[in-house]
Amino acid sequence: MLWKQPIDLELLNHSMKGTLCELLEIHFIEVRENALIATMKIGQKHMQPMRIMHGGASCVLAETVGSTAANFCVESGKVCVGLEININHLRPVKTGILTAMATPLHLGRTTQVWDIKIHNEQNKLVAVSRHTVAIIQN
């Protein structure tokens, strides 16, 4: 089984209060057998001067859903911390709600690698990311 701990979406979203996730309106919406899914509603705070979404915003979304998923895949007493993230921006975003799905590529003893795909409301791929985390003692 992928998840080593139960995931309560209400508690998870509540834990994001007062963080960058709350500021950027990132919300976890679904847990699947092998994936964690979150959304981000795009607004003015996500824009760069050209009035399209700043690439850093989609990177925050990808790292948030990847790191959060990773932390539910480790035993008690261990935590996952970001080691590297790569993101390719494929299409500009001006408005709407983005959906990010994180699925594992590698679940090792000391590292994990996650694939994150971000889609717009028309289900068009907006960005793809690969996120590597290190597993450390808490």
Catalytic center residues: 63
At 122, phi and psi to the nearest 5?
-90, 10
Collapse the DSSP code of 94 into the 3-class scheme (helix H, G, I; strand E, B; otherwise coil) and give the result.
coil
At 23, phi and psi to the nearest 5?
-60, -40
Collapse the DSSP code of 130 into the 3-class scheme (helix H, G, I; strand E, B; otherwise coil) and give the result.
strand
Between CA 54 and CA 57 the distance in angstroms is: 6
Nearest to 93 by CA among 44, 20, 133: 44
Between CA 79 and CA 112 the distance in angstroms is: 11
CB 90 within 8 A of CB 110: no
